[in-house]
Amino acid sequence: MLHLLTVLFVLVSPTGPFREGSSKGAPSTDSIQKLQLQTVDVLAEKKTTTPDLQRLDPLRRFEHSGTPMARQLEAVPGMSVLSSGTQLAKPVINGLHSQRILILQDGVRLEGQQWGSDHAPEIDPFQEGEWAILQAAASLRHGPEAIGGVLDLQAPPLLQHGHLDAHASTVWMSNNGLIGTHLRLQGPASRNGRLQWRWQGSSRMSGNLRLPGAYLANTGTREQSTTAELQYSHGKWLINNYLRLYHLRQGLYPGAHVENTEDLQRALESSVPLWEGRFGYQIQRPLQEVLHLQYSLHMQRAHSQGGLSSLRFGYQDNQRKEYDTRSFLPLPEMALALGTHTASYTYSQNLGRWRFEEAVGLMFQQNLNQASNARQFIRNYQNQNLWGYSLVAWESAKMGRHEWALRFDQVDFESYYRAPGSQPNDPVTRDERSFHRWSAAWTWNYRLPQTAWLLSLNAGSGWRPPSAPEWYANGLHQGMAALELGNPLLGPEQTLTGNLGLEWKKNGRLFHSQVGSRQIDGFIFLEPQQPPAQTINGVYPQFAYVGRDATITHWNNKASLPLGSGWRLDMSAALVRGRERNRGSWLVWMPADRWTVGLHHAAQREPADGLPLTFLRTLSGGVEALHVTRQSRVPLGSDNNTSLDYAPAPSAYTLVRIYAGGMGPGGHLQWMLSVDNLLNTRYRDYMNRLRYFSNEQGLNLSLRLQYHLHRHHPA
């Protein structure tokens, strides 16, 4: 049924049906490894002429390895960060974040984002492999929460070789004393090479952040991640088992928790943190603790004529604990457990110029407040999603590549709640909600004949049901140091999207520009509420979820120009505008304009006679400057003169970064030395919720080393 509807969508689309020639024979399917790699990369592989703007360069990843995933992605135009401190950071794509950005970890979507905007993704900061941003038809297959895009994080493929392979890396940072290590081992588990295994583990420990002139108390971090993978491949079959465990213990700045309104106002107006600390690794209350367990079983079978079947089962357990500042008990004041079961089946086939893909899936999810809860931020709930998806793609040298996608979702949500002080026999308050809607998307990539120009166009219609915090949030959110209020009257978001991209690439020169607009009916966001809330735990800024019709537009640009003798000039710019359509006011929490310019140099140099440091053979280095303007487009109060926010938008700032690195013979040893915020600039970022109380971190010197025992693939 879905496939027939998708074909109908193709026929009535603006491009109309295509009748150019007959299809050629299907590609060879000699090995399951070849098909498996094609399936992983089909949404962004080179031969589909997809623009390169939506990928993070592996060398750039190494330059920022050991930092949170969202911080690494800031290098991509259009990407920014919503944070509450340096470590609790969420990715933002063209102004959209949280439940509108879906994160895939080796094909499994991370579910911990359901708890709110302060919960950072449970991603190993040393995560290897390919990182890509999927949008329009490419993202539709992953769910209604992907209306802002999909971050697809794919581990490198298991290598088919008969020996042990090892990769080790480490990072040191001066600002907060961060020490991070990562080790990956992989090899064959059978003599015939059909069974392969891989294990990787990482650990990070950091102390209090150093600001220009002061330390920020209780901002240390403990983070561990381990992954085990076992894969069997034979003939047309490939079976992969994947198990991952992630743990984070994060201190929260205590100066954001004040006793009275006078202290709050004094903290908001102060240019320096009122609660200063000294360097140390100790983590005290308030703090946040996260535990993430993920398991998936993925089976693939190749068929004749380019067909491929894929069956995936997954389980995910997320636990989150928050410890308040004032407590006489060692137990957490908030403890949530979120369990998610998923199952999906996908069949894809390549027939000449055509590609077909169909999928069905089921998700069941349950959130529980643990017995130790002293406060219930959100209700217990169950969430079910039954979905179907279909994609048709067609490609030719004259007409480019077209992709049409269609998806249907049936979402059933039920919450149950017993008010504090209720007796065991008192009735439970239940709230049941059900939604069923369609989503559609079209993508076109076209390379102008005999030119270096690539045109990309995509359009789509999508939707997203509200999340549990948006409906039921009620109380203190420790990570944000704020009181949040849900709105049970909120309905689903409905969005219409259009993007136009133009790319020129020739002889190392690159220019890319993308402009897009998104109309969202019922756009849900946290709006500041005055006055601040007085609670038994102190005084906090308060925010309420509201739904408004909004328009969000963006314009991203990137240019790269080789200057000769190994020199290269890179420039990028990202601009986002968000407005409420009915009232005409600006939207809160939209990124300010970002401008970047960098001068880079890379040269091959043979070491001089007798020089022992052979890792200087390949040298690279450069300097970058990031300028972020003041966010002047902020919502105003009822008098249209004062800001609705608790503090005015911070001033513009410019950050300078320098780096130098090298690689030894054969590419086994690689090193990178960098200095961030070289001028020790005192600044605050509009998208950081901790900007109410603190500046951002100051100068930071970092050293990164990594060693590959066998250099089978790039870093």
Q: How far apart are the first and last CA of the chain?
A: 44
Answer whether residue 714 is part of any domain: no
Q: Which helix (H) or strand (E) holds 470?
A: helix 468-472
User: Exposure string (b/e) for 493-512, b if CB count within 10 Å is 16 or more?
Assistant: bbbebebebbbeeeeeebbb
**Predicted local distance difference test score (pLDDT) of residue 530:** 86
Helix (H, G, I), strand (E, B) or coil at 647: coil
**Predicted local distance difference test score (pLDDT) of residue 709:** 84
**Predicted local distance difference test score (pLDDT) of residue 52:** 42
Q: Point out the least confidently predicted range of 42-56, 146-160, 448-462, 553-567.
A: 42-56
**Predicted local distance difference test score (pLDDT) of residue 613:** 53
The confidence band for 23, taking pLDDT boundaries of 50, 70 and 90, is very low
Q: State yes or no: pLDDT of 27 exceeds 50.
A: no
The confidence band for 195, taking pLDDT boundaries of 50, 70 and 90, is very high
The arithmetic mean of pLDDT across residues 172-182, rounded, is 96
> How confident is the model over 639-657, as pLDDT tens digits?
666 778 899 999 999 999 9
The confidence band for 638, taking pLDDT boundaries of 50, 70 and 90, is low
- Name the residue among 358, 376, 435 with its Cα closest to residue 7: 358
Cβ proximity of 520 and 466 under 8 Å? no
Angle at 439 between CA 436 and CA 442, to 5 degrees: 170
**Predicted local distance difference test score (pLDDT) of residue 40:** 32
Q: Which helix (H) or strand (E) holds 624?
A: strand 618-628
Answer whether residue 713 is part of any domain: no
The DSSP call for residue 183 is E
Q: Which residue has the tokens 């006489």?
A: 328
Cβ proximity of 491 and 522 under 8 Å? yes
> The whole model's pTM is what?
0.88
- Strand segments (E) across 537-616: 538-564, 567-580, 594-604
**Predicted local distance difference test score (pLDDT) of residue 605:** 53
Q: State yes or no: pLDDT of 525 exceeds 70.
A: yes
**Predicted local distance difference test score (pLDDT) of residue 446:** 94
What does the block give as tokens for 583? 């009232």
Answer whether residue 591 is part of any domain: yes
Strand order of the β-sheet with 101-105 is 108-109, 101-105, 149-154, 130-134
The confidence band for 17, taking pLDDT boundaries of 50, 70 and 90, is very low
d(CA 543, CA 644): 11
Answer whether residue 392 is part of any domain: yes
d(CA 268, CA 648): 10
d(CA 216, CA 128): 31
Higher pLDDT, 190 or 607: 190
**Predicted local distance difference test score (pLDDT) of residue 616:** 54
**Predicted local distance difference test score (pLDDT) of residue 32:** 31
The confidence band for 257, taking pLDDT boundaries of 50, 70 and 90, is confident
CA distances from 235 to 30, 301, 308 (A): 9, 9, 13
Q: Point out the least confidently predicted range of 40-54, 94-108, 590-604, 633-647.
A: 40-54
What does the block give as tokens for 458? 């995509």
The arithmetic mean of pLDDT across residues 468-474, rounded, is 92
What are the beta bridge partners of residue 365?
340, 383
- Name the residue among 146, 119, 145 with its Cα closest to residue 133: 146
What are the beta bridge partners of residue 315?
295, 341
**Predicted local distance difference test score (pLDDT) of residue 496:** 96
Cβ proximity of 11 and 415 under 8 Å? no
- Name the residue among 444, 319, 426, 316 with its Cα closest to residue 370: 319
Answer whether residue 584 is part of any domain: yes
User: Exposure string (b/e) for 128-150, b if CB count within 10 Å is 16 or more?
Assistant: bbbbbbbbbbbbbbbbbbbbbbb
What does the block give as tokens for 626? 């990031």
d(CA 591, CA 82): 9
Cβ proximity of 576 and 552 under 8 Å? yes
Q: What proportion of the chain, given as a percentage, has pLDDT over 70?
A: 87
Answer whether residue 410 is part of any domain: yes
**Predicted local distance difference test score (pLDDT) of residue 44:** 33
Q: State yes or no: pLDDT of 30 exceeds 60.
A: no
Q: State yes or no: pLDDT of 162 exceeds 60.
A: yes
> How confident is the model over 36-75, as pLDDT tens digits?
333 333 333 333 444 544 667 777 788 888 888 888 888 8
The pLDDT mean for the chain works out to 85
Phi, psi for 279 (deg, rounded to 5): -70, 140
What is the CATH number for 20?
A: 2.40.170.20
**Predicted local distance difference test score (pLDDT) of residue 28:** 35
Cβ proximity of 294 and 316 under 8 Å? yes
d(CA 557, CA 500): 12
Cβ proximity of 692 and 205 under 8 Å? no
**Predicted local distance difference test score (pLDDT) of residue 536:** 77
d(CA 99, CA 82): 13
Q: State yes or no: pLDDT of 12 exceeds 50.
A: no
Answer whether residue 384 is part of any domain: yes
Q: Residue 176: which domain range?
A: 2-708
Cβ proximity of 668 and 707 under 8 Å? yes
**Predicted local distance difference test score (pLDDT) of residue 42:** 32
> How confident is the model over 130-152, as pLDDT tens digits?
888 888 787 888 988 888 999 99
The arithmetic mean of pLDDT across residues 609-632, rounded, is 77
Phi, psi for 457 (deg, rounded to 5): -140, 135
Q: State yes or no: pLDDT of 118 exceeds 60.
A: yes
Cβ proximity of 81 and 574 under 8 Å? no
> How confident is the model over 356-371, as pLDDT tens digits?
999 999 999 999 998 7
Name the domain count of the chain. 1
d(CA 275, CA 312): 49
Cβ proximity of 343 and 361 under 8 Å? yes
**Cis amide prior to 58 (ω within 30 degrees):** no
